[in-house]
């Protein structure tokens, strides 16, 4: 049976070149903290990979810190900034459409006496800039707004938010897990203090990520133990995973604009084809200021789980939103925050394309989707 993978926002299949490179360098088994030859060889790989990632992102090598992935990086940015700057204040600003790695961390910080302000978003999922300005107080220590939403793909005005934060002496973290490799990023120009990323979102291995920490940023360690990562993140580094992450990022960013344009063209054909052929279908997120491969659509009088089961039976892998929230009976907090009615939000699915998505794949999805939606609506009556 034909199989089409359209859940690339959840994770991407590992690139064959990345896998081969990881296998090639798996023989370097040494601990990079050891001073003997095997350790020095591992350290050399670690340093080289750090330099590759820093170069692609426009950062200094000593501003890249390795982690186990995007969730750890986001947790570290928020908790590390909160604890390190508690003497200044305990006020944090974020948005209601953030990934759970940010929202749940903020809610936990409330238990430690921190005040959290959630900035509203418009119907497209874009944060209210004026509301951010008004929310900043003397004791505000951190703003955390994601670069691109993981469910609806909307891009945020990160440059503008970074400028506002800087003018007020407030740290700014952006969750760029979905943005890295999909939009050009130059950390030397972006103006953020911290940026989190995860390798498996750009065809690298799972279980490895990074946190960019601008030089001079006051941040507490998140994991205590040894002196790895210059004393800021203890634990032996996942050298082979980091090698894979560097290789994956290099491949993904080789022609980021050209590749993104090709993916966006297929995305728009899929969006237009679905909306034109199915009554009661509505696009969620900004029509143009969105990730090149993101398609999030609500179907009236349907349930997402029923749609996903029928799509899977037809050989199409999709999702109802964040993979981290799969199995949850709750309707998407992102869609509700954007003002999407609960009944429509219940019938929303996410199809996310990659450079591997073909025109034939789009044709196939457009061919079966009307029937699948009709069957779901009939069974719901």
Sequence-distant (≥ 6) Cβ neighbours of residue 6 within 8 angstroms: 316, 317, 318, 351, 352, 353, 357, 361, 365
DSSP for residue 331: P
β-sheet with 91-94: strand ranges across: 64-67, 209-213, 194-198, 171-175, 140-144, 91-94, 115-118
Q: HEC states along 99-156?
A: CHHHHHHHHHHHCCCCEEEECCECCCCCECHHHHHHHCCCCEEEEECCCECCCCCEEC
Instruction: Identify the active-site residue in 106, 253, 324, 376.
Output: 324
Distance CA 236, CA 228 (A): 7
Q: Is 365:351 a contact under the CB 8 Å cutoff?
A: yes
Give whole-number Cα distances, 281 to 87, 102, 285, 348, 349, in Å.
50, 30, 13, 9, 11
Q: Identify whether 324 is a catalytic site residue.
A: yes
User: Which are the catalytic amino acids?
Assistant: 324
């Amino acid at each position: 049976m034909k199989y089409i993978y359209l859940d690339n926002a959840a994770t991407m299949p590992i690139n064959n070149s990345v896998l081969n490179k990881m296998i090639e360098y798996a023989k370097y088994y040494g601990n990079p903290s050891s001073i003997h030859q095997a350790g020095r060889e591992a350290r050399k790989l670690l340093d080289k990979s750090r330099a590759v990632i820093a170069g692609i992102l426009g950062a200094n090598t000593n501003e890249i810190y390795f982690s186990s992935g995007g969730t750890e990086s986001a947790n570290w940015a928020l908790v590390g900034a909160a604890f390190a700057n508690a003497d200044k204040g305990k006020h944090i600003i974020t948005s209601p459409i953030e990934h759970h790695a940010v929202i749940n961390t903020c809610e936990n910080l409330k238990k430690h006496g921190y005040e959290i302000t959630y900035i509203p978003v418009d119907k497209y999922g874009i944060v209210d800039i004026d509301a951010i300005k008004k929310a900043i107080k003397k004791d505000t220590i951190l703003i955390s707004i994601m670069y691109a939403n993981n469910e609806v793909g909307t891009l945020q005005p990160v440059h503008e938010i970074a400028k506002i934060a800087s003018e007020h002496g407030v740290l700014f973290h952006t969750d760029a897990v979905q943005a890295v490799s999909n939009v050009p990023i130059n950390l030397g120009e972006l103006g953020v203090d911290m940026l989190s990323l995860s390798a498996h979102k750009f065809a690298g291995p799972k279980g490895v990520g990074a946190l960019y920490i601008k030089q001079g940023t006051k941040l507490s360690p998140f994991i205590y133990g040894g002196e790895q990562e210059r004393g800021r993140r203890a634990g032996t580094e996942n050298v082979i995973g980091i090698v894979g992450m560097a290789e994956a990022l290099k491949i993904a960013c080789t022609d980021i604009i050209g590749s993104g344009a090709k993916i966006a063209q297929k995305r728009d054909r899929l969006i237009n084809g679905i909306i034109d052929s199915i009554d009661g279908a509505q696009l969620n997120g900004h029509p143009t200021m969105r990730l090149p491969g993101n398609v999030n659509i609500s179907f009236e009088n349907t349930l997402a789980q029923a749609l996903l089961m029928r799509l899977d039976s037809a050989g199409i892998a999709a999702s109802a939103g964040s993979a981290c929230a799969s199995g949850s009976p709750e309707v998407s907090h992102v869609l509700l925050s954007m003002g999407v009615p609960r009944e429509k939000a219940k019938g929303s699915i996410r199809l996310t394309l990659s450079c591997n998505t073909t025109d034939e794949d789009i044709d196939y999805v457009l061919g079966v989707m009307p029937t699948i939606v009709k069957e779901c609506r009939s069974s719901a009556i």
